Amino acid sequence: MNKLSQITMLIDPPNQTQTRWQYLIPSLSCRAFAPESQMGPLLGLARAIRGPVRVTYFQTFRSYQLDGCNQDVQAIARSLAKDASNVVVMTGAGVSTPSGIPDFRTPGSGIYDNLKQYRLPYPEAIFDISYFRQSPDAFNTWAKEFFPGLRYQPNLAHFFIKLLHDKGKLVRLYTQNIDGLEVLTGLPHEQVVHAHGSFTGASCVACGRVADLEDYKANILLNQNPRCSCSEKAPIKPDIVFFGENLPERFQMFQEDTAFSDFLICMGTSLEVYPFAGIADAVPRKVPRLLINRTLVGSFGSREEDCILLGDLVEQVIQLCRALGWEQDLFDLKNAYDKKNKLGNKELP
């Protein structure tokens, strides 16, 4: 079935209530923005162009308020310490900016504002499967810079999640990140769902043949565009989820995890990309949801139990750990990691 493979919701600033929708139409290499009132006609247009449209995780949020939210770090810590034993954590690129990896959408520093040299039809094309099949160069250049395990190290935000695990509170981490920094902290693989995939494998986009990961990595680091030896000589792509591709099956665990959760922590994401963003709304309404982020995102602020720590993630995490009496534990984890790994930036060839 033809379908619009990725639908992204953008929410206007907190004092406005109108919801805008962004439609990515990869086969047409374009995207469209529309207020909610025009959604019907736009979907009609998309159907006319591409056939049946399947919309999953369709949701609208009418209003949210910061004022009514719990922003008291002591009270949040008490609730986390006392009432939470099944914590679901969801993260995005913001947790890795303190490690030196830019996020996607922060104006100025975000990746999407810094892709001019690639002459992409629209910024997200760098992660668009149709575009990659024709022009893998932009993605491969990005992959050379951010190939996991070469330059970047986990920061205190990542160690906070490991600490939640060590304290027996973490049910699962759902991350959109493909940098692999959360597992470098020692968090067991079964505790992590890489919702947008990872660099742990690579395969041909045409015939699906699995590529040798070391060869793939070596080619990327040598600025070559790895291609399969099949008849199409198609590009090889790591196992990360591009726009237009399905999420891994493990992602579906969020339904059960959220149903039985008693606390949700959302950190460093704009919550603009679905279906991942839907995790925040899948927890029952009585479950406290804590957002730690520079800006208010998603539907946070719309529920009575919402808690919000706005500002720099690492600073907020330190404050929260201090209020929990976990600050020393947090630094001990990071210091032990640094010592074990004798840290220093590795140079690329």
Residue 148, CA distances (Å) to 216, 278, 291, 342 in order: 13, 27, 26, 17
What is the token pair recorded at 184? 């470098």
Contact pick of 11, 39, 53, 93 for ligand OAD (by CB under 6 A): 93
Map tokens 């060590």 to a residue: 166
Contact pick of 184, 193, 234, 273 for ligand OAD (by CB under 6 A): 273
**Choices 14-22, 59-67, 89-97, 298-306; region in contact with ligand OAD by CB under 6 A:** 89-97
Q: Does 317 bind ligand OAD (CB under 6 A)?
A: no
Sorted by sequence, the CB contacts under 8 Å of residue 153 that are 6+ apart come out as 99, 181, 184, 337, 338, 341, 343
Q: Does 153 bind ligand OAD (CB under 6 A)?
A: no
Residue placing its CB nearer to ligand OAD in the complex, 236 or 297: 297
| Beta-strand pair 236-240/197-204 | antiparallel
Q: Does 130 bind ligand OAD (CB under 6 A)?
A: no
φ, ψ dihedrals at 258, nearest 5°: -75, -35
- Rounded Cα distance between 174 and 316, Å, is 20
**What is the size of the binding site for ligand OAD (CB under 6 A)?**
27
CB atoms within 10 A of CB 285: 10
Q: Does 138 bind ligand OAD (CB under 6 A)?
A: no
Q: Does 92 bind ligand OAD (CB under 6 A)?
A: yes
| Residue 349 CB, nearest approach to ligand OAD (Å) | 26
Residue placing its CB nearer to ligand OAD in the complex, 38 or 141: 141
The separation between the first and the last C-alpha atoms of the chain, rounded to the nearest angstrom, is 44
Beta bridge partners of 90: 174, 266
- Marked catalytic residue, from 158, 165, 194, 196: 196
Task: Please indicate whether residue 196 is annotated as part of the active site.
Answer: yes
Q: Does 64 bind ligand OAD (CB under 6 A)?
A: no
Q: Does 299 bind ligand OAD (CB under 6 A)?
A: no
Helix (H) or strand (E) holding 159: helix 156-166
Q: Contact positions toward ligand OAD, by CB under 6 A?
A: 92-94, 97-98, 103-106, 110, 124, 127, 176, 196, 241, 243, 268-270, 272-273, 293-295, 297, 312-313
* Active-site residue set: 196
